[in-house]
């Protein structure tokens, strides 16, 4: 409990995380490009929320900054929330990136021994867990699906993320993966 709020499985996210071994596979007009990266993610408790006097949620907000390992340049900045509904055990991940794309992905948590596995998905056009993007992105780099699996065991987090894109006249699975260590527990 933090300030009287039970964050359920989200308490495992809270803190500052760092990872040095990330790999990004991204589309290019003539193929694909790999970038080694490191990232930092800060998760902070944001409290409880009630919807329509019926649904009770708890939320953790986060900010993720990803830098290329070879030069330290930021190439991805993302903000969002992880949300948990205790009554249904539903996990929701909302995120926004400054390329005018927002995702609301949903799924469940699975506990495998001491490892918590958060698995969420979204599909363009879905009325519940979907993707919203600007007209430019719809025309030039449309996101059609999103999936993220995040595994936490103690102070280690491993994530794998696939963003399915229609870009450069073809379909492409843009992937990111990294292993992070908690460096500060808030």
What is the domain-level CATH number for residue 172? 2.40.128.20
Asked, for residue 75, whether it belongs to a domain, the answer is yes
Q: What per-residue string of b and e applies to 128-160 under the rule 16 or more CB within 10 Å gives b?
A: ebbbebeeebbeebbbebbbbbbbbeeeebbbe
Asked, for residue 2, whether it belongs to a domain, the answer is no
Asked, for residue 130, whether it belongs to a domain, the answer is yes
Length of the chain measured in residues? 186
Which long-range contacts (C-beta less than 8 Å, at least 24 apart) are formed by 25-30?
Answer: 25/173, 25/174, 25/175, 25/176, 26/174, 27/165, 27/167, 27/168, 27/172, 27/174, 28/168, 29/168
Name beta bridge partners: 29. none
pLDDT of residue 162: 97
How many distinct structural domains can be found in the chain? Answer: 1
Tens-digit pLDDT profile for residues 69-105:
999 999 899 999 999 999 999 999 999 998 999 999 9
Task: Please state, in angstroms and rounded to a whole number, the distance separating the CA atoms of residues 174 and 179.
Answer: 18
Asked, for residue 1, whether it belongs to a domain, the answer is no
Asked, for residue 13, whether it belongs to a domain, the answer is yes
Asked, for residue 3, whether it belongs to a domain, the answer is no
pTM, whole model, 2 decimals? 0.93
Q: For residue 28, which of 168, 183, 161 has the smallest C-alpha distance?
A: 168
Asked, for residue 33, whether it belongs to a domain, the answer is yes
Expressed as residue numbers, the domain containing 26 is: 8-184
Tens-digit pLDDT profile for residues 97-153:
989 999 999 999 999 999 999 999 999 999 999 999 999 999 999 999 999 999 999
Asked, for residue 105, whether it belongs to a domain, the answer is yes
Q: For residue 11, which of 116, 159, 121 has the smallest C-alpha distance?
A: 116
pLDDT of residue 185: 76
């Amino acid at each position: 409990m933090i300030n009287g709020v039970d964050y359920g499985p989200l308490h495992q996210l809270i803190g500052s995380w760092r990872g040095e071994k990330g790999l990004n596979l991204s589309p290019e007009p003539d193929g694909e490009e790999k970038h080694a990266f490191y990232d930092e993610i800060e998760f902070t408790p944001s409290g409880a929320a009630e919807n329509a006097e019926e649904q009770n949620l708890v939320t953790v907000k986060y900010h993720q900054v990803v830098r290329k390992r070879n030069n330290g340049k930021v190439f991805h900045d993302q903000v969002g929330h992880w949300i948990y509904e205790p009554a249904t055990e539903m996990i929701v991940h909302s995120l926004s990136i400054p390329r005018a794309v927002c995702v609301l992905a949903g799924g469940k948590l699975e506990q495998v021994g001491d490892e918590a596995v958060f698995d969420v998905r979204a599909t363009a056009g879905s009325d519940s867990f979907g993707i919203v993007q600007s007209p430019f992105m719809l025309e030039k780099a449309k996101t059609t699906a999103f999936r993220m699996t995040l595994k936490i065991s103690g102070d280690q987090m491993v994530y794998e993320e696939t963003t399915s894109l229609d870009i450069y006249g073809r379909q492409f699975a843009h992937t990111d993966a990294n292993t992070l260590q908690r460096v500060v527990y808030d």
